[in-house]
Amino acid sequence: MASPITPPRGMRDFLPADKARREHALGVIRRSFSAHGFDEIETPVVEDIARLHSGLGGDNEKLAFSVLRRGLDGDDLAAAIDSGDILSLSDLGLRFDLTVPLARFYATHRAELPPVFRAIQIAPVWRAERPQKGRYRQFVQCDIDIIGEASQLAEVELITATAAALDALGLTDCTIRINDRRILNGLLEYCKFEESRWPQVLISIDKLDKIGTAGVVAELSADGADSAAVLGGILEHLEPHLADGGVALTVEAITGILPDGVDTDAVAALEGLAHSLDTLPPGVTLRFDPTLVRGMGYYTGTIFEIAHPGSGSSVGGGGRYDGMIGRFLGSEVPAAGFSIGFERVVDLIELPESGAAGSVALVYDQDVPLDRLLSVKSELIASGSRVRLEKRTKNLKALLERVEADGFGAFAFVTPQTTDAGSLELKPLG
């Protein structure tokens, strides 16, 4: 018995009906982002390996797929293994997100772009994940970014446009959890963690929803047990305040749950952000969550993440990453972005069946002249219909069920007596 032929693990095929529904959802997102003044760009699927492993991608750098250099031989492989420098075998890698390529894009084309650049990127990315429900090795991200705007206008526009896209998709009951890296840094300073350890501490806090407070403390206790204990006490204190995704975005609510001395400027900035976002769709709620980290190492200020009760993981996220583009240009450029996790969102929404109302299957007899068959088809296409030719079979019922499943809403028989599209008798399917 032949073994099943399937895609590589963590990657998927999409049948025509599924592909059409996905493209419908992507079209809704594109139109919504575009209506808010963003312009779509495209970048290559590969980037230089050094750029992908520059320390900006957090744990995702470990999941990057590398492309072997051309012309390698056994000696090269042996030398790389001996030296422990496997990355030297590669000069390119598949992108693991769309933010690192955007930073490179902006550095390349800055002179051709406006002072404040609003970008859309909707494209696949690749990560060597352990495949599981909602987590794939190839998946689509829907990103918007604003480069060159240092004020909170960037965050306001990003959150507004993303909320509008979710609303246009019909996704309700969303909570946008918001935090600021400066507040997180203040918490770590309060706990007296050495600054060199902050990245590792943040990685542990980012696992809070999976391993709990005890797990975070256990991970951090090996080095700096006193600091870990202080952090554990803070997390236990915060836990009841996070039941609804966090607390209201007000200075009183935020300072009421944080230790004294945490960055008050960042707290005031979050309250100002909330005042500017009081016209979001009714299905979107803003909440402050001081345990929100966002795993990427490039975030420098405000960070945000979308939670939905129908998903065990976030369905989107982003934040401000002012330091990234300066790595390529040698000068600081403010930047912020928001990404919708398309694969998770598309599983939560009801999508209409694609184009059935304007789709016609022409079931033709074998003796119909080809020129007449194609003429009838062309007439229908010119009138705005989607048309497929299907040869009449003995099992007509099965044929019609198949074309209906493929999204067609009507059919008509084409016989040698058919003269033009006007002589067809269109019959509904289903």
In tens, the pLDDT along 45-96 reads: 999 988 888 776 666 788 888 888 777 766 666 666 666 666 678 889 999 9
Residue 355 gets which letter from DSSP? S
Residue 305 CB-density burial (10 A; 0-12 exposed, 13-18 middle, 19+ buried): buried
Q: What is the CATH number of the domain that holds 311?
A: 3.30.930.10
So what's the pLDDT on residue 56?
A: 65
Residue 285's beta-bridge partner residues? 175
Q: How confident is the model at residue 244 (pLDDT cuts 50, 70, 90)?
A: confident
Answer yes or no: do 341 and 367 share one domain: no
54's CB contacts (< 8 A; 6+ apart) are 100, 327
Residue 87 CB-density burial (10 A; 0-12 exposed, 13-18 middle, 19+ buried): middle
Residue in the structure block whose two tokens are 């935090």 = 179
315's CB contacts (< 8 A; 6+ apart) are 174, 306, 307, 308, 340, 341, 344, 345, 348
Contact 27, 19 (CB under 8 A): no
Residue 163 gets which letter from DSSP? H
Range 179-190 average pLDDT = 89
So what's the pLDDT on residue 168?
A: 93
Answer yes or no: do 128 and 225 share one domain: yes
Sheet with 359-364: list strands edge to edge: 386-391, 359-364, 410-414, 427-428
3 state DSSP class of 7: coil
Q: Indicate the number of domains in the chain.
A: 2
Residue 8's beta-bridge partner residues? none
DSSP string covering 378-406, please?
Answer: HHHHHTT-EEEEEE--S-HHHHHHHHHHT
Answer yes or no: do 280 and 381 share one domain: no
Q: How confident is the model at residue 279 (pLDDT cuts 50, 70, 90)?
A: confident
Answer yes or no: do 208 and 146 share one domain: yes
So what's the pLDDT on residue 163?
A: 94
Write out the H or E segment, with its range, that includes residue 68: strand 66-68
Question: For residue 223, is pLDDT > 70?
Answer: no
Question: For residue 395, is pLDDT > 80?
Answer: yes
Answer yes or no: do 311 and 389 share one domain: no
33's CB contacts (< 8 A; 6+ apart) are 40, 120, 142, 144, 161, 165
Question: For residue 27, is pLDDT > 90?
Answer: yes
Answer yes or no: do 319 and 222 share one domain: yes
Question: For residue 2, is pLDDT > 60?
Answer: no
Answer yes or no: do 340 and 366 share one domain: no
Domain span at residue 161 reads 16-346
Which value, in Å, is the radius of gyration of the alpha carbons in the chain? 27
Contact 98, 339 (CB under 8 A): yes
So what's the pLDDT on residue 3?
A: 62
So what's the pLDDT on residue 355?
A: 60
Question: For residue 311, is pLDDT > 60?
Answer: yes
Sheet with 66-68: list strands edge to edge: 46-48, 90-94, 66-68
Encoded tokens for 323: 């330091």
Q: Which of 327, 346, 365 is the last residue of a domain?
A: 346
- Report the Cα 23 to chain-centroid distance in Å: 15
Range 308-333 average pLDDT = 86
Please give the backbone phi and psi of residue 273, each rounded to the nearest 5 degrees, phi first. Answer: -65, -40
Nearest to 246 by CA among 218, 269, 274: 274
Question: For residue 98, is pLDDT > 90?
Answer: yes
Nearest to 345 by CA among 384, 368, 314: 314
Range 104-122 average pLDDT = 95
Q: How confident is the model at residue 296 (pLDDT cuts 50, 70, 90)?
A: low
Q: For residue 185, tell me if it sits in a domain.
A: yes
Q: For residue 7, tell me if it sits in a domain.
A: no
* pLDDT tens digits along 126-164: 998 888 777 899 999 999 999 999 999 999 999 999 999
Question: For residue 1, is pLDDT > 60?
Answer: no
So what's the pLDDT on residue 78?
A: 67
Answer yes or no: do 330 and 404 share one domain: no
Question: For residue 385, is pLDDT > 60?
Answer: yes
* pLDDT tens digits along 322-339: 988 887 787 889 999 999
Mean pLDDT score of the chain, rounded to an integer? 87
Give buried/exposed letters for 125-158 (b at 16+ CB in 10 A, else e): bbbebeeeeeebbbbbbbbbbbbbbeebebbbbb
Question: For residue 174, is pLDDT > 60?
Answer: yes
Q: For residue 304, tell me if it sits in a domain.
A: yes
So what's the pLDDT on residue 58?
A: 64
Residue 84 gets which letter from DSSP? T
Please give the backbone phi and psi of residue 40, each rounded to the nearest 5 degrees, phi first. Answer: -85, 140
- pTM here? 0.85
So what's the pLDDT on residue 263?
A: 72
Range 245-259 average pLDDT = 81
What is the tally of helices (H) and strands (E) in the chain? Answer: 15, 15
Answer yes or no: do 410 and 322 share one domain: no
So what's the pLDDT on residue 83?
A: 64
